[in-house]
Amino acid sequence: MQLEFYKYQGTGNDFVMIDNRSEFFPKENTQLIAHLCDRRFGIGGDGLILLENDSETNFKMVYYNSDGNQSSMCGNGGRCLVAFAKKLNVIENETTFIATDGLHHATIADDGLVSLQMIDVAEVKVSSDHVFLNTGSPHHVQLVDDLENYNIKENGAAIRYGDLYGKAGSNINFVKQIDDTTFSLRTYERGVEDETLSCGTGATAVAIAMNVLGKTDASSIDLNVEGGKLVVFFEKKEGQFTHVFLKGPAEFVFKGTIEI
Ligand SMILES: N[C@@H](CCC[C@H](N)C(=O)O)C(=O)O
């Protein structure tokens, strides 16, 4: 069978997109999803996303990591799916869709940048050398001295598989402060089991964690990721973060078919 796919990337976090409104895709086939995400034997991607019909919103997002397993929210993937929905004429420049962590509102600006509303965050656990919070996916956030030369894969895997997070694991973000409102981060992603060029829920987690740690009092924070730049903005009231938005590019790369 010939499978039609679209490839998208958001700051270098790349995804295989499939229009599954007709529900043809074999969603339980973990091996097939991992194969499609494989960079040597398949199409290649950090994850695979299905766009499906939803009775109450514009569409449904179903997200899989490149290991083939369905997972929690993907911020960059959500932004790319919004751009994909526009390409398919499912939406125009504004949408509400459903994902695993609930409803998401998003807009596409004239310059193509996609702003995606993320979940509200009320609980942020601060430890001596790291912060843990859930921004739709679980994130460990840790400041490091030499981010450029830091071994993300080795140190990330050690924390992800260590005692802190048990079987479920976590995504691991290493961070360096650049100025009052800017941070650089590199992320080890669970389910990819490697560093990716960007992680949207990770950038969101870093922005909130840096505010909680008092590293910034800005409510709009610039994040440098390996694949580009993201902005996270939010409202903060009595320790709760609401109206949290992740903004950045979401770009169509190519379209193709693959024999499955
Ligand atoms: N790249 C994503 C995060 C995807 C989910 C993550 N790998 C997990 O399983 O927790 C993003 O942009 O947020």
What are 146-190's pLDDT values in tens digits? 999 999 999 999 999 999 999 999 999 999 999 999 999 999 999
199 catalytic? Reply is: yes
In this structure, the residues whose C-beta lies within 6 A of any atom of ligand 1 are 13, 65, 71-72, 74-77, 137, 171, 189-192, 199-201
Residue pointed to by tokens 């979401």: 250
- pLDDT over 90 percentage in the chain: 100
Ligand 1 centroid to residue 63 C-alpha, Å: 9
- Identify the residue whose C-alpha is closest to ligand 1 atom 4: 74
Q: How would you classify residue 216: left for phi > 0, otherwise alpha for psi between -120 and 50, otherwise beta?
A: beta
Pocket test for ligand 1, best of 201, 208, 230, 246 (most atoms within 8 A of CB): 201
Residue 138 near residue 132, CB atoms below 8 Å: yes
In this prediction, residues 41-48 reach a mean pLDDT of 98
pLDDT at 135: 98
pLDDT at 107: 99
Q: Which residues are annotated as a binding site?
A: 13, 65, 75-76, 171, 189-190, 200-201
- Identify the residue whose C-alpha is closest to ligand 1 atom 5: 74
Helix (H) or strand (E) holding 31: helix 30-37
Pocket test for ligand 1, best of 137, 152, 185, 190 (most atoms within 8 A of CB): 137
Pairing between β-strand 102-108 and β-strand 94-99 as defined by DSSP bridges: antiparallel
Q: Which of 118, 108, 63 is nearest to 86 (CA)?
A: 108
Residue 184 near residue 143, CB atoms below 8 Å: no
pLDDT at 70: 98
pLDDT at 207: 98
pLDDT at 92: 98
Q: Is the dihedral of CA 255, 171, 174, 159 positive or negative?
A: negative
> pLDDT tens across 49-102, in order?
999 999 999 999 999 999 999 999 999 999 999 999 999 999 999 999 999 999
Q: Which of 225, 47, 43, 229 is nearest to 137 (CA)?
A: 47
Ligand 1 centroid to residue 134 C-alpha, Å: 11
**Which atom of ligand 1 lies closest to the CA of 73?**
5
pLDDT at 16: 99
In this prediction, residues 230-255 reach a mean pLDDT of 98
Ligand 1 centroid to residue 198 C-alpha, Å: 9
CA distance 16 to 7: 5
> pLDDT tens across 104-150, in order?
999 999 999 999 999 999 999 999 999 999 999 999 999 999 999 99
How many CA atoms within 13 Å lie on the side-chain side of 188? 22
User: What angle (nearest 5°) sits at the alpha carbon of residue 160, between those of residues 155 and 164?
Assistant: 110
Strand ranges (DSSP E) for 77-206?
Answer: 94-99, 102-108, 114-117, 124-126, 131-134, 138-143, 171-179, 182-189, 194-196
- Identify the residue whose C-alpha is closest to ligand 1 atom 1: 199
pLDDT at 145: 95
Pairing between β-strand 124-126 and β-strand 138-143 as defined by DSSP bridges: unpaired
SS3 of 254, please?
Answer: strand
- Does the ipTM exceed 0.95? yes
Helix (H) or strand (E) holding 82: helix 75-87
Q: How far is CA 204 from CA 51, 219, 253, in A?
A: 23, 12, 24
pLDDT at 63: 99
